[in-house]
Structure 1
Amino acid sequence: MIIKRKNNKNKEQEANWEERVIQVKRVTKVVKGGKKLSFRAIIIIGNEKGQVGVGIGKATDVIGAVKKGVTDAKKHIIHVPLTKTDSIPHKINGIAGAAEIIMRPSAPGSGVIAGGSIRTVLELAGIKNILTKQLGSNNALNNARATINALNNLRTFKQTAQDRGININQLYYKK
């Protein structure tokens, strides 16, 4: 008798993900026979250990839209480099549409200083100390995508040294 254990591992990985619904909007499409009503859900998923994703789903019912949004978010997961103090390595900006986000690492104990969908993305990524400023648009989806854009462009010292083809100590000490 052969026992398969692959499903067990997948179930454990699935259990670690936390999902949050940011927005559910009722949208209409004008067609020949009148108006077609559907729902758009914006979902953010993360494991609070440096992985986070944003997805949207549209369906004729809210539950279907949320399920599609979760599936879409899992397809667009990014890895975020975290410091020992659960912050980001350096200051960075993110842009999506008319939304612009400025992020700065912060001292331990200061918490997540952000609002709206930005706060949710950062919390689900596992960031605990950060300062952010939202510029331009108030659109929840564009702000979440701008945050993902900024987090995706973060670099660690190790990555920078590898890109430049030098030893990591040469980044710290100039001769």
Structure 2
Amino acid sequence: MRHVIIDASQLELEDNVVSIKRVSKTVKGGRTSRFTALVIVGDHNGHVGAGLGKAVEIPEAIRKGKEDAMKHLISVARDENNSITHDFIGKYGSASVLLKRAPEGTGIIAGGTARAVVELAGIQNIRTKCLGSNNKQNVVLATLEGLKALKTPEEVARLRGKSVDEILA
């Protein structure tokens, strides 16, 4: 498992607000309402992250979510035709996301929340399917877990002590 710390200040990151929810808490004097924003950031070149921001006002929640997403950036292994290197199922909570390789020209076949993550990661050919829960936050985090677990053929060959040709054969 790769744990590479990515410096977000050197990347040109684009952000995408996936969901904004109004949450309220009942206190002695009545109800207090706040907002939570689920934000995804990515550079369309193999780096993507997601974060959750909570605040009394929406713009502040989005800003906090963006900052949180920048702290949790991951790098994604991609192949020569901008697809993923192998099929994988990412799991988070009760949400599972099936990530399948796709040939050149397929495009992004994905639901709304998984699509946002995959687009910002720079993947252009992929098929995905949400299994289990459709909760937006869990689907985003399951997609990120799946992308984080992907390995390049070079990494697999190094771990197994074989050559890349032996792995791909």
- Whether the TM-score (by the shorter chain) exceeds 0.5 is yes
> What one-letter code is carried by the residue in structure 2 that aligns with 1:108?
E
CA RMSD of aligned residues (A): 1.2
Q: How much has 1:122 moved relative to structure 2?
A: 0.1
Q: Deviation digits for residues 112-141 of structure 1, max 9, x if unmatched? A: 000111000000000000011111111111
Q: Report percent identity of matched pairs.
A: 42
Cα distance in 1 for residues equivalent to 2:155 and 2:27: 51
Q: How much has 1:56 moved relative to structure 2?
A: 0.5
Asked whether 1:164 is paired with 2:160, we answer yes
| 1:74-113 mapped onto 2 (5 Å cutoff) | 74-113=70-109
> What one-letter code is carried by the residue in structure 1 that aligns with 2:153?
F
- Report what 2:127 is aligned to: 131
Asked whether 1:33 is paired with 2:25, we answer no
- Report what 1:70 is aligned to: 66
Q: Deviation digits for residues 30-88 of structure 1, max 9, x if unmatched? A: 22222111000000000000000000000000011001000100011000011110000
**How many positions carry a matched residue from both structures?**
161
Asked whether 1:116 is paired with 2:129, we answer no
Cα distance in 2 for residues equivalent to 1:162 and 1:117: 34
Q: Deviation digits for residues 141-166 of structure 1, max 9, x if unmatched? A: 11000000000110111111121233
Give the one of 45, 48, 53 matched to 2:49. 53
> What one-letter code is carried by the residue in structure 1 that aligns with 2:140?
A
Contact map agreement 2:153 2:168 (CA 8 A) in 1: no
Cα distance in 1 for residues equivalent to 2:68 and 2:168: 40
Give unmatched runs, 5+ long, in structure 2.
Answer: 1-8
Cα distance in 2 for residues equivalent to 1:170 and 1:109: 28
Q: Secondary structure at the match of 1:128?
A: coil
Cα distance in 2 for residues equivalent to 1:42 and 1:167: 42
| TM-score for the superposition, normalised by structure 1 | 0.88
